[in-house]
Chain A
């Protein structure tokens, strides 16, 4: 056993309202700089949709992540020692500015300074790269809320696993559904970005698992951009250095939640420590597709287990971190309750950001029923449209709505479980069971019999259901963000040894981050 600690995240997708506050918080702090304007370390996508950069999930285009080779090991798909060094002069799988979007601003000054004339002055969009006026063709969330569906939502790579009929059904106006997928770097356990970096500039911090790029060692070989299947390593075109989400480590080290999490309006985000057994990484990353999720969860160990605690202590994990692991909301969601799943486990980077799959698009079903019958089943004062569709939100059917969803399970499975619909259905049923349980308690229109049956079906006790409800809906700041002390007194990340800097101008990165000659 080689027990290590990792700061991990859970995003509860049912709660995301798609407000992009997280993206803006991150941008304001980290990427509002020349060369980084196009980078959204945190971005929120509408699913179904092509995302940012366009069709990032399609590894036939971008060649990100790992793939199994013939002897059961794994190889980077588009980088690595051989491919990386041969393609170092021109990386054939490198996304260019067109794949993201050309960053732009508006010529606001013209509104104030335009000479008096007959026409109202306008603020034309200008490129932040060339400074020339441009025609804006793309933005970071161009397909927000299913905008431009024919071009975007219909080209979602996850639709490939669906039959044409299922696909058509998804896009019928009456059945249309979508959800938001906020994404940051997953701070993976088997990161493609680290493995692909020829300079060795990218590394995982042992203490908390944050993946960082040493800006002084990066030489713009650009392989991380290709190798990260989530396209969360970005190339700064001005400084000639790659950059990525740093999980706000300066905030974390001070005990604060990362800016995206702190500002999250929907309170969908949780952060906490997971203890894992590093010896199982290899096996988990090279497991067969069907076992990927199970092996991934196997790697995460029980922080209350005496043996685990002893092994962790032997490995230099501080007691404060072990305590944080025991209080961790992410351990609860991911392992104890098995409610959360990793995004695209088939990329084999072992992401440590987990998603509670969204129930909302599936909770109601649209059924075709005879108009007469529909009227009969509804209260007479309810408004009825003269068509044959019934938007059914009743909980009578129990699992019917999970299994015959508006949003094909196969679609969610393609996102969260490498195609295993069972894993997604089990989680959705639990979410549903908690709702039925709460409905029983607060509204009272569900019989106790049904409530006990759904809890028994999903293997939840009343206490667990209550705990899930609490952490989902009521949890306060300190319950959502359980951040272990960073023990800065032991070592200062990116800062020098304090004694060395005594009497000088200060700590840290003292060089102006400008482009070289």
Chain B
């Protein structure tokens, strides 16, 4: 356990989480208008399909996998106790990882070759996508070179993450990990740190509440019951729109 390790695996995570929380609240409250998925499908639709679809479905499954292994390490290990199930899990994860990679590369190519899409590309988009690409490449490398990731993640990394959240950091295991894995972990914290300042914010406003609402929405600026009552003081009726 050296000082750099302490910085990278304890300092950086806490800084990242803090930046994430403060940044998100700040972004949403002060510049709410800018919280958007910033789709560029209007400018280019065909290449987007071959990028956005494999990328999003891929990364959703991969992220979910990481989350499950983190939250349910016991369950993951139990699942992996049968070699067939382990292989099924690893192959599925790797397939979706590949799909993420292919999609991301397609998106990057589209971003750099389509003149219209270039016009809506910010420096942050490029930085973010390169960081993501590095992260996905490292992830695939780890999956191939350091088998079996789902098991050792549940056994060694899950406790490390847990220890951060219980404010009792234990980095013995991470410090001993191979460099590739350490880089992947550091990349993840960096992503979390810059998250609120990037287009990734659209993940936080994923419209799942759509499933629960009726299709039509009518908003009244007036309180319909109160408005005709002469006893209602007008100042109590507030617009319900903003």
Contact = CB atoms under 8 A, between A and B. Distances in A.
A binds B: yes
B120 A238 contact: yes
A218 B202 CA distance: 11
A513 B45 CA distance: 25
A91 interface: yes
Interface string B59-80: 0000000000000000000000
A317 B57 CA distance: 48
B224 A315 contact: yes
B242 A496 contact: yes
Contact of B218 (A94, A132, A206): A206
Given A190-B216, A491-B239, A130 B115 contact: yes
B37 A215 contact: no
Given A191-B216, A195-B215, A200-B217, A235 B242 contact: no
A97 B116 contact: yes
Contact of A516 (B45, B49, B199, B218): B199
B81 interface: no
Interface string A193-219: 011011110111111000000111011
Contacts of A89: 52-53, 55-57
A414 B8 CA distance: 68
Interface stretch (B90-98, B154-162, B204-212): B204-212
Contact of B36 (A220, A316, A487): A220
Contacts of A85: 207, 210-211
Contact of B34 (A132, A198, A517): A517
* Chain A interface SS verdict (over half): loop
A222 B210 contact: no
Contacts of B120: 237-238, 515
B165 interface: no
B4 to A, nearest CB: 30
A363 B39 CA distance: 49
B241 interface: yes
Contacts of A207: 220-222
Contacts of B44: 96
A218 B35 CA distance: 8
B147 interface: no
Contact of B221 (A129, A221, A490): A490
B26 interface: no
A499 interface: yes
Interface stretch (B13-21, B136-144, B169-177, B227-235): B227-235
Contacts of A88: 207
Given A89-B52, A96-B44, A511-B31, A490 B217 contact: no
Contact of A96 (B34, B43, B118): B43
Interface string B120-164: 101011000000000000000000000000000000000000000
A513 B33 CA distance: 7
Given A90-B49, A516-B38, A517-B197, A204 B239 contact: no
Q: Interface size for chain B: under 10, 10 to 19, 20 to 34, or 35 or more residues?
A: 35 or more
A494 interface: yes
A203 B202 CA distance: 21
Contact of A130 (B48, B116, B198, B219): B116
Contacts of B45: 90, 94, 96
A200 B220 CA distance: 15
Nearest to A94: B41
Given A97-B42, A491-B222, A216 B215 contact: no
A205 to B, nearest CB: 6
Contacts of B215: 76, 80, 194-195
Given A89-B52, A91-B41, A240-B39, A494 B33 contact: no
Contacts of B43: 96-97, 129, 237
Interface in A484-502: 487, 489-497, 499
A313 interface: yes
Interface centre among B57, B125, B213, B218 (most CB of A within 10 A): B218
A511 B33 contact: yes
Contact of A204 (B34, B209, B217): B217
A126 B37 CA distance: 28
B216 A205 contact: no
9 contacts: A90-B52, A94-B42, A130-B119, A131-B119, A203-B217, A207-B221, A241-B36, A491-B222, A516-B38
Interface of B: 30-45, 48-49, 52-53, 55-57, 115-116, 118-120, 122, 124-125, 197-199, 201-202, 205, 207, 209-211, 213, 215-225, 227-228, 234-235, 237-239, 241-242
- Cβ-closest 4 pairs across A and B: A316-B224, A516-B34, A198-B207, A491-B221
Given A191-B216, A204-B219, A493-B241, 6 more contacts: A90-B48, A204-B217, A206-B222, A237-B42, A491-B239, A515-B122
